[in-house]
Amino acid sequence: MSNRVVCFGEIMLRLSTPEYRRFVQADSFDATYGGGEANVAASLANFGLEACYVTKLPDNPIGDAALNHLRRYGVKTEYIIRGGERLGIYFLESGASQRPSKVIYDRAYSSISSIKPGEIDWEKVFEGAKWFHFTGITPALSDSAAEATLEAVKTAKQAGLTVSCDLNYRKKLWSTDKANRVMSELVKYVDICIGNEEDAEKVFGIRAEDSDIVSGELSKEGYKDVARKLVERFGLKMAAITLRESHSASDNGWSVMLYDGAGYYFSRKYDVHIVDRVGGGDAFAGGLIYALLNGYDSQNSVEFAAAASCLKHTIPGDFNHVTVAEVTSLMKGDGSGRVQR
């Protein structure tokens, strides 16, 4: 069986203001494409794995452009279906210093929100695959998308795949009550759960004690407890948590933790001056999946994933355009940023 990974979710048109301008100042937008699971697929394809992305796109030139964007970076797209009304859009105003970034969604009635169980032949999609990845964004889009996600995870488990989920709670998409109800059912089929400092609390009511995400004060002991409770509640093999110390919109402390049921593993902490933080968590997920599929132990897996995500913060756009060699170099301590000639 090859190291083939299947990712399922929504890819959107991203329109961002240039040069840190506010929306009210912008006379133009920089256009690209991205979305949680698409970002993971792009990372994995870039690392040399066979990454297959599944979604529903409108049958129009904008849908074609999103499809071609994925193909450009080596993502397999043969199981993408066409139909529905439109491609979702998100607008990004990049913050700086003490001014936070802002995201505005324009994704109502997007094609993926109309997807229903039975539209994807999951048994065929999972033939020869080893891993399935989704996020909490997809089931938040609509009730039918949640049902299609449940169909996918059940089929993936029956086919013997490892299943990972990034909780990715989005308050603009659904309530904490609905997220808890839907995700509690989906995570029953998950092996590896990924979240940030807020997700476990917002979705499952599991809070890290002695941490304050606004002040940037994070407690390692508190997050050990969160990871342990997630593993015990859902019978997970692993829980991974990204630990972001948000000093400002421009400067963050970045590290990650992994709990594998036997031990807790913390990466080194990176002090990151941010170019673009969107997709940072997805870059972590992609790095973790790559490392685990390639037989890295828990400590080296968390170090590789943290380094991959650190580098993503320096790259404009949603996708993480770095190589395994670049990640490995940073993982081993070369973070000088010196010009390579």
* pLDDT score of 197 more than 90: no
Q: Is the pTM of this model over 0.85?
A: yes
CATH number of the domain at 53, please. Answer: 3.40.1190.20
pLDDT score of 46: 96
Tally helices (H) and strands (E) across the chain: 11, 15
Does residue 155 lie within any of the structural domains?
A: yes
Q: Is 30 known to be catalytic?
A: no
Does residue 341 lie within any of the structural domains?
A: no
Does residue 339 lie within any of the structural domains?
A: no
Does residue 338 lie within any of the structural domains?
A: no
Does residue 246 lie within any of the structural domains?
A: yes
* pLDDT score of 230 more than 70: yes
Output the average pLDDT for the chain: 93
pLDDT score of 210: 62
* pLDDT score of 66 more than 50: yes
Does residue 340 lie within any of the structural domains?
A: no
CB 94 within 8 A of CB 102: no
Does residue 114 lie within any of the structural domains?
A: yes
Total structural domains within the chain = 1
pLDDT score of 269: 94
Domain that holds residue 179: 4-331
Catalytic annotation, pick one of 166, 191, 199, 282? 282
